[in-house]
Structure formats: structure tokens, C-alpha cells
């Protein structure tokens, strides 16, 4: 009886040891697989970003869309999405505060379309950039935000965007050429990569001199943030 009991215990022990060995191998293979996937993602990301001029959240490059006091020591960088309702609210805040801050801030607008929830955001960004090729970026920027409720619910807003372009008296032939250009699309991709490098995951996200801002959805809060940064310089 004791012999049978010992044999049974040894059998259970052997089974546990075999299971532990299998689990160890699975963990080992799982770590290898995870590392391989991570490496692949890094390679894909690097490949996608090759050739892009990716700015940081604390600098201005020639491709940036900017306004305000260009020599200001206060750099306000906004990562935004034209189809995002919260970005519309932020746009309205900036507009309300603009006369109070425009002589103290250099504002940079960068695209960060959240395509998983805003299917037309990238196209809107392309239209804004194409308008920018005719020195009408900010005018198209305002058209897109002010009419967000109209075009955001359409299946295809391209014709509506064309209407905004005509209202701004843009050269439509040039607009179409620019919309199709890889250089324009790369500009939007570079903005997205810039946002990701800065840790942006949602919109709107704002930085003053490289520091992320919070609680600036109201006019007074935004004015205070700009004036505080101005006084520190």
C-alpha cells in the first residue's frame, strides 16, 4: 500500500515538473514572440517616418502653420483634429482669447487626426494644408471648424470642402494637384509623428514651450497660461 502511495506521489510530482517545464518554455517563446512583434512595429514605424521632417513640440519648422507674434518667447503648439468636437471647443476658446494673447504668443497648429473615430479628419487636414499652399490655411481652418456639424455627418465631405475652397476664392485646379501630392500628405504624417513623439494620444493637446497644458478649455485659463509663460521669459 505504501509503495503504491509513493508511486502515485512520484507520478503527480513528475506531472507537475513536466507542466512547469512546459510553462517555462511557453513563457520563453512568448517573450521571444513579443520582442519580435515589438521589433517589427518599430521597423514599420521607422520605415513610415523615413524622409519626414518631424518637429518637436518645442520648435517651429518652415512647414508649420503658424500665426501670432513670430518672435515671441512663448510657443503654443496645438495638436488637433478638425472632426473632433473637443477641438472645436478649443478652437472657440483660442478665438475668444486671441485679441488678448496674439501679441504674446506664437501659435503652431499641427494635425493629429483620430481616424478610428473621425473618418473625415485626415481629408479635412489635407484640404487645410492645400489651402495653406495658397496662403489660406487659417481661413480654411476656420471654415472647417465653424462648419464641423455640417460636414462631419456626411458620407463624403469632399464636395462640401470644395465649396469652402471656392468661398475662399482658391485656385481649384491647383488645390486638386496639391491634395494629391505626396509632399502635402507627408506634412500631415510628420505632424502625427511629432504628436506621438510628444506623447499625444488624444485631441486637443496643447504645449507651451514644450510643457503640456491642462485645463485651458476656457478663455481666462488660456490667457493666464500664456501670460504666465510670458512673465517667466
pTM of the model: 0.79
Q: Is 226 exposed, middle or buried (0-12, 13-18, 19+ CB in 10 A)?
A: buried
**How high is the pLDDT of residue 64?**
98
**How high is the pLDDT of residue 76?**
98
Tens-digit pLDDT string for the chain (233 aa): 566 666 666 777 767 777 677 777 767 666 665 555 544 444 444 445 657 999 999 999 999 999 999 999 999 999 999 999 999 999 999 999 999 999 999 999 999 999 999 999 999 999 999 999 999 999 999 999 999 999 999 999 999 999 999 999 999 999 999 999 999 999 999 999 999 999 999 999 999 999 999 888 899 999 999 999 999 97
Q: Tell me the three cell numbers of residue 130.
A: 492645400
SS (H, E, C) 43-98: HHHHHHHCCCCCCCCCCCCCCCEEEECCCCCCEEEEEECCCCHHHHHHHHHHHHHH
Q: Tell me the three cell numbers of residue 184.
A: 502635402
**How high is the pLDDT of residue 37?**
53
Amino acid at each position: 500500500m505504501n509503495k503504491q502511495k509513493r508511486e502515485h506521489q512520484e507520478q503527480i510530482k513528475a506531472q507537475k515538473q513536466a507542466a512547469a517545464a512546459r510553462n517555462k518554455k511557453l513563457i520563453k517563446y512568448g517573450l521571444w514572440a513579443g520582442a519580435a512583434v515589438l521589433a517589427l512595429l518599430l521597423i514599420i514605424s521607422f520605415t513610415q517616418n523615413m524622409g519626414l521632417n518631424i518637429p518637436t513640440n518645442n520648435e517651429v519648422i518652415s512647414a508649420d502653420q503658424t500665426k501670432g507674434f513670430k518672435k515671441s518667447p512663448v510657443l503654443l503648439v496645438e495638436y488637433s483634429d478638425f472632426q473632433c468636437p473637443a477641438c472645436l471647443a478649443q478652437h472657440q476658446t483660442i478665438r475668444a482669447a486671441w485679441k488678448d494673447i496674439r501679441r504674446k504668443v506664437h501659435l503652431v497648429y499641427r494635425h493629429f487626426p483620430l481616424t478610428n473615430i473621425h473618418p473625415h479628419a485626415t481629408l479635412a487636414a489635407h484640404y487645410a494644408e492645400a489651402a495653406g499652399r495658397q496662403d489660406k490655411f487659417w481661413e480654411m481652418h476656420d471654415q472647417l471648424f465653424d462648419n464641423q456639424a455640417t460636414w462631419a455627418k456626411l458620407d463624403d465631405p469632399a464636395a462640401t470642402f470644395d465649396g469652402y475652397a471656392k468661398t475662399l476664392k482658391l485656385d481649384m485646379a491647383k488645390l486638386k494637384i496639391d491634395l494629391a501630392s505626396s509632399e502635402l500628405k507627408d506634412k500631415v504624417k510628420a505632424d502625427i509623428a511629432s504628436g506621438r513623439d510628444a506623447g499625444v494620444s488624444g485631441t486637443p493637446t496643447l504645449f507651451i514651450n514644450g510643457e503640456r497644458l491642462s485645463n485651458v478649455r476656457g478663455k481666462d485659463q488660456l490667457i493666464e497660461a500664456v501670460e504666465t509663460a510670458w512673465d517667466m521669459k
